[in-house]
Amino acid sequence: MRAAEEKLFSTGVDSFKLMQQAGNAVAEFVHANWPEGRIQVLCGPGGNGGDGFVAAAALAKLWRDVDVYCLVPAEKLEGDSAKAAAEWGDEIKPLEAALDAPHDIVLDALFGGGLSRPLEGAAEKLAARGGRVISIDVPSGIHGELAKPLGACFRAEGTITFAALRPAHVLMPSAAYCGGVFVADIGVPVQTSLLENSPLLWGRRLPQPGQGSHKHARGHLAVVSGNIISTGAARLAGRAGLRAGAGLVTMLSPPDAIAVNASHLTAVMLKEVADAEQLRAAIESASVVILGPAAGINTSTRENVECLLSSNCRAVLDADALTVFSDDPGAFFKQLRPDDLITPHIGEFNRLFGDLLETEPNKVEATRKAAQLAGCVVLLKGPDTVIARPDGPAIVNTHATRWLATAGSGDVLAGIAGGLIAQGVDTFTAAAMASWLHGEAGRRIGAGLIAEDLEAELPDILSSLHGEHL
Ligand X SMILES: NC(=O)C1=CN([C@@H]2O[C@H](COP(=O)(O)OP(=O)(O)OC[C@H]3O[C@@H](n4cnc5c(N)ncnc54)[C@H](OP(=O)(O)O)[C@@H]3O)[C@@H](O)[C@H]2O)[C@@H](O)CC1
Residues that bind ligand X (CB under 6 A): 5, 15, 18-19, 22, 44-51, 111-119, 136-137, 162
Minimal distance, residue 105 CB to K ion, in Å: 14
The whole-angstrom separation of Cα 53 and Cα 353 is 45
- Classify 13 as helix, strand or coil: coil
Minimal distance, residue 15 CB to ligand X, in Å: 5
Beta sheet of 269-272, edge-to-edge order = 194-196, 394-397, 385-388, 377-380, 341-342, 314-317, 288-291, 220-224, 248-253, 269-272
- Classify 272 as helix, strand or coil: strand
Minimal distance, residue 45 CB to K ion, in Å: 12
Of 95 and 236, nearer to ligand X (C-beta) is: 95
Minimal distance, residue 191 CB to ligand X, in Å: 17
Minimal distance, residue 127 CB to K ion, in Å: 10
Asked if 136 is part of the footprint of K ion (rule: CB under 5 A), the reply reads yes
Minimal distance, residue 52 CB to K ion, in Å: 8
From K ion, ligand X, none, interface partner of 219 (C-beta below 5 to 8 A by class): none
Any known ligand binding at 114? yes
From K ion, ligand X, none, interface partner of 47 (C-beta below 5 to 8 A by class): ligand X
Asked if residues 103 and 39 have their Cβ atoms less than 8 Å apart, the reply is yes
Asked if 365 is part of the footprint of K ion (rule: CB under 5 A), the reply reads no
Asked if 108 is part of the footprint of K ion (rule: CB under 5 A), the reply reads yes
From K ion, ligand X, none, interface partner of 45 (C-beta below 5 to 8 A by class): ligand X
Of 43 and 379, nearer to ligand X (C-beta) is: 43
- Classify 250 as helix, strand or coil: strand
Asked if 54 is part of the footprint of K ion (rule: CB under 5 A), the reply reads no
Nearest Cα residue to 124 out of 111, 138, 105? 111
R_g over Cα of the chain: 26
Minimal distance, residue 413 CB to K ion, in Å: 35
From K ion, ligand X, none, interface partner of 18 (C-beta below 5 to 8 A by class): ligand X
Asked if residues 241 and 423 have their Cβ atoms less than 8 Å apart, the reply is no
From ligand X, K ion, none, interface partner of 442 (C-beta below 5 to 8 A by class): none
- Sole window of 56-64, 140-148, 168-176, 349-357 interacting with K ion (rule: CB under 5 A): 140-148
Any known ligand binding at 48? yes
Any known ligand binding at 345? yes
Any known ligand binding at 382? yes
Q: Which residues 6+ apart lie within 8 Å of 43 measured at CB?
A: 49, 50, 52, 53, 56, 68, 69, 70, 71, 85, 92, 109, 110
Asked if 135 is part of the footprint of K ion (rule: CB under 5 A), the reply reads yes
Of 113 and 296, nearer to ligand X (C-beta) is: 113
Any known ligand binding at 137? yes
- Classify 344 as helix, strand or coil: coil
Minimal distance, residue 464 CB to ligand X, in Å: 38
Of 19 and 273, nearer to ligand X (C-beta) is: 19
Any known ligand binding at 300? no
Residue of this chain nearest to K ion (CB atom): 140
Minimal distance, residue 127 CB to ligand X, in Å: 10
Asked if 159 is part of the footprint of K ion (rule: CB under 5 A), the reply reads no
Asked if residues 62 and 1 have their Cβ atoms less than 8 Å apart, the reply is no
Q: One-letter amino acid identity for 102?
A: P
The whole-angstrom separation of Cα 311 and Cα 466 is 33
Asked if residues 56 and 92 have their Cβ atoms less than 8 Å apart, the reply is no
Kindly give the interhelix angle for 15-33 and 79-88, rounded to the nearest 10 degrees: 50
Neighbour tally for 463: CB within 10 Å: 11
Nearest Cα residue to 161 out of 141, 128, 146, 183? 183
Distance of CA 465 to the CA centre of its chain: 20
Strand stretches in 283-422, DSSP E:
288-291, 314-317, 341-342, 377-380, 385-388, 394-397
Of 49 and 254, nearer to ligand X (C-beta) is: 49
Asked if residues 368 and 398 have their Cβ atoms less than 8 Å apart, the reply is no
Any known ligand binding at 411? yes
Any known ligand binding at 354? no
Of 154 and 349, nearer to K ion (C-beta) is: 154
The whole-angstrom separation of Cα 119 and Cα 129 is 13
Q: One-letter amino acid identity for 53?
A: F
User: Sign of torsion, CA 272 276 277 280?
Assistant: positive
From K ion, ligand X, none, interface partner of 287 (C-beta below 5 to 8 A by class): none
From ligand X, K ion, none, interface partner of 135 (C-beta below 5 to 8 A by class): K ion
Residues of each annotated binding site: 47-51, 108, 112-118, 137, 140, 233, 345, 381-385, 410-411
Binding residues (CB under 5 A) for K ion: these are 108, 135-136, 140
Residues of each annotated binding site for AMP: 381-385, 410
Residues of each annotated binding site for (6S)-NADPHX: 47-51, 112-118, 137, 233, 345, 411
